[in-house]
Amino acid sequence: MTGRLQGKVAIVTGGASGIGAACCRRFSEEGAQVVLTEIQENLGQRVAAEVGGWFVRQDVTQEMTNCVVFLASDESRFVTGSELLADGGWLAEGGIRNLPKTGGGQAA
């Protein structure tokens, strides 16, 4: 543990199992406060308790679009992180405004 994420907040969608749960654990080990969202309430609460984080029930198939729109808006100026990890699939450095319009990013 390096503590390199101390003072940061990690929001992980699908954080109750697989890659999402592994991300929650690693972010916590590195000092981040973890908020995980998941449709599977029991699993989500279990992982949140394990990492000392928070759980929010979310169906990402309906709500992820709203999250991306919010992060791209001026209303999200208080979000100060420099990385974005979505569904364990890709990582973009420099914030959402630097994402290529075609998607992608670099492998996590």
Q: What percent of the chain has pLDDT over 70?
A: 61
Reading the block at residue 34, the tokens are: 């973890």
Residue 21 sits in a domain of what CATH number? 3.40.50.720
CB 67: neighbour CB atoms within 10 A? 16
> Is 24 part of a structural domain of the chain?
yes
In a domain, 50, yes or no: yes
77 Cβ neighbours under 8 A, 6+ residues apart: none
E strand or H helix at 9: strand 9-13
Residue 81 lies in a domain: yes
pLDDT digits (tens, 9 = 90+) for 23-48: 999 999 999 999 898 899 999 999 99
Which residue(s) pair with 37 in the sheet?
13, 56
Confidence of residue 58 (pLDDT cuts 50, 70, 90): confident
Per-residue pLDDT band for 104 (boundaries 50, 70, 90) equals very low
Looking at the structure of the chain, the number of domains it has is 1
Domain interval for residue 16: 9-98
Q: Is residue 43 in some structural domain?
A: yes
Both tokens assigned to 54? 């928070």
Is 92 part of any domain?
Answer: yes
- Is 1 part of any domain? no
The model's pTM is: 0.62
Does residue 91 belong to any structural domain of this protein?
A: yes
Instruction: Note whether residue 108 is domain-resident.
Output: no
What mean pLDDT is reported for the chain?
A: 76
Q: How far is CA 7 from the centre of its chain?
A: 15
Lowest mean pLDDT among 58-62, 90-94, 95-99: 90-94
